[in-house]
Structure 1
Amino acid sequence: MGIDLPLIWAVIIIFGVMMYVVMDGFDLGIGMLFPFVKAKGDRDVMMNTVAPVWDGNETWLVLGGAGLFGAFPMAYAVVLEALYLPLILMLVGLIFRGVAFEFRFKAKDDKRHLWDKAFIGGSLVATFFQGVALGAFIEGFKVVDRHYAGGSLDWLTPFSLYSGLGLIVAYTLLGCTWLIMKTEGPLQKQMHDLARPLALVLLVVIGIVSLWTPLAYPQIAERWFSMPNLIWFMPVPILVLVTFYGLLKAVARNANYTPFLLTLVLIFLGYSGLGISIWPNIIPPSISIWEAAAPPQSQGFMLVGTLFILPFILGYTFWSYYVFRGKVTHDDGYH
């Protein structure tokens, strides 16, 4: 039996995107939490919690995009053509966030508020349009003769806009629980106070998406509710509810690490639910990873290099988080 290269590449890309969502999610969330924190010193601490690691997080976005381009060129072409505008706006947001990150620490006190606003705006725009792109991806694309056949604004739908707002809530909760883990004192207490309402709003968001998608898209309803799939997939919504309960209990007892870990579990379960809804299609609603795959020779050649470099990426990612583990205080600085 031969090696299923499209399946291997699908796993690599899924893993890369998941790592990006987790790691860039909490620093985008920190940007969106800035309006709730007014004190300059607390804002400095918030940025210092991610200052040593934030730019390395985007390695995973590059890995996912490059993997899609090389292993599934048809999907890359269709998805980019369908989502040019939201993806460009997402990148503009990431640029503003990145520039604000660097210049804020160097700006004079009377100018720093401008970079704070750029940090907030860049984080909001990047997150919102990531969610919009995700919602449009779930809805699917019109493809004729292996080319995108829809309009330039087909991505602009109520569901995609709702997905953008939903991702803002998810990333903000991720950033909030990250700060619970990395800070102390009044700032940590403020994050504890914010975590509970954010978690409840996210539960509502997930509930609406869970109803909206099967009602609007029959193929998703059939995937989840036909037998024996219903039995196999039932643990996912049950685990979501159990995790939310554990998260609220952890916040109530002022836990340090548990809220962030449980929020990661929620993100993973949501990602799993997305995978269940569309698998094995890489261009929803009907083009599978095998139909969109590059020739085996191309995928095999790329796989050799990817398997060589992936341990290095994992290694320096782990090492950077290990070196900068622990609490961040007002005495710590950004260099």
Structure 2
Amino acid sequence: MIQSIDLSVIWAVIILFGLMMYVVMDGFDLGLGILFPFIKDRHERDVMMNTVAPVWDGNETWIVFGAAAMYAAFPLAYAVILEALYIPLVLVLAGLIFRGVAFEFRFKASDESRHIWDKAFIGGSLLATFFQGVALGTYVSGIAVANRQFAGSALDWLAPFPLFCGLGLVVTYALLASTWLLIKTDGMLESRMRSISQPLLYLLALIIAVTIFWTGANHGDMARFWVAGHGVGFGLMVVLALLAATLIRKTLRRHHSHLPFVGVLLLVFLGYAALGISLWPNIIPPSVDLWAAASPIQSQLFALIGTLFILPIILAYTCWGYYVFRGKVRVGDAYH
């Protein structure tokens, strides 16, 4: 029975799900730091941080879950990808540390020193977001492997396409955050976020278009895969992306609170799905597939049994946290 189940595929789906949850949930609270420079009022900044104060650290559970799952199920991929992306990932970690410390210290700082922690929050959010995008761009560009070891340079990430992907993710997270704040705030702050969201949407649409053409130009096999092999699927995704962008634009103009955020989530999901389909079944593009990088079946099965207990618990406390702290956040609502 166990032999007939492809555990590598199951683990790939679990890891993709965990990383998608991280992009969505930590994306909008990292985006708050990116938007901080556009909001000067101290009380409005307090409100922005209080919209995620009860849940931000729980959101980061998903990246820990994804990394641990990859280590258990695909140790070769974990080792090679970590070595290839060592510098960007260390910078991501540094940004998350700056941001986390600033999150806690800002609320306890004096009026004279609060600006220091605001700057740390902005810098940490930008650093973590930008280098997440750089890591993603480097991964998509391909990682050199020889004899089951990383065969590239530690500076492969220092190239135009990964750096462009870093900027693209900054815009994506900023749009996630601005539409999140439409749900969680009111008054002048909500109005500012509505006015910021529309140009961010247009900028993201441009970035998506450039990324598609750039990827196709650099990876002819990927372009042929979509156009020749899966033209209908690719066309459907493009149509859905256009519908999502139209939904965001129209609901912003009609002052909806929740639908713009839903539209942005759909855009993010479509981009993530397109990436996953384009690279499948390679876990280390362009040449190492899931089965070549997988751990022994016994190890995968043992870890899967534990995951089946842990994953529902993570989902349950995540949903419960957002349910308990639902509703608008206003000036004077305290973070403890």
TM-score, scaled to structure 1: 0.99
**Residue 171 of structure 1, CA deviation:** 0.2
Name the counterpart of 1:300. Answer: 301
Q: Deviations over 1:274-327 (max 9, x none)?
A: 112211110000211111100000000000000111110000000000000000
Give 1:191's match in structure 2, choosing from 190, 193, 203. 193
1:217 aligned partner: 219
Amino acid at match of 2:90: I
**Pairing partner for 2:175 from 173, 178, 185:** 173
Deviation at 1:55, TM superposition (A): 0.2
Q: Deviations over 1:17-55 (max 9, x none)?
A: 000000000000001000000000000000000000000
Displacement, 1:215?
1.1
Q: How many angstroms does 1:56 deviate by?
A: 0.3
Query: In the alignment, what sits opposite 1:264?
Result: 265
Ranges in structure 1 where 5+ consecutive residues have no aligned partner: none
Equivalent residue letter for 1:331: G
Counterpart code for 2:265: L
Letter aligned with residue 265 of structure 1: L
* Deviation per residue, 1:101-134 (Å, 9 max, x gap): 0000000010000000000000000000000000
Q: Secondary structure at the match of 1:255?
A: coil
Cα distance in 1 for residues equivalent to 2:320 and 2:221: 43
Which letter maps to 1:315?
A
Structure 2 SS opposite 1:256:
coil
Q: CA deviation at 1:194?
A: 0.3
In the aligned structure 1, how far is the partner of 2:216 from the partner of 2:296? 34
Out of 56, 59, 74, the residue aligned to residue 57 of structure 1 is 59
Q: Post-superposition, which runs of at least 4 consecutive aligned residues in structure 1 deviate over 6 A?
A: none
Correspondent of 1:14 among 16, 22, 25: 16
CA distance in 2, matches of 1:331, 1:128: 32
What CA distance in whole angstroms lies between the structure 2 residues aligned with 1:208 and 1:277? 17
Shift of 1:74: 0.3
Q: What is the identity, as a one-letter code, of the residue corresponding to 2:308?
A: L
Q: Deviations along 1:75-109, whole A, 9 cap, x unmatched?
A: 00100000000000000000000000000000001
Pairs within 5 Å for 1:1-335 = 2-227=4-229, 229-335=230-336
Structure 1 residue 145: deviation in Å?
0.7
Distance across 1 between alignment mates of 2:135 and 2:274 = 17
Structure 2 unaligned regions, length at least 5: none
SS in 2 for 1:110: coil
Q: Give distance in 2, aligned partners of 1:331 and 1:39.
A: 14
- Secondary structure of the equivalent of 2:65? helix
1:290 match: secondary structure:
helix
- Residue identity (%): 59
Q: Which residue identity is paired with 2:263?
A: L
Deviation of the 1:233 alpha carbon = 2.6
Between the aligned partners of 2:315 and 2:50, the Cα distance in structure 1 is 22
Structure 1 counterpart of 2:275, one-letter code: L
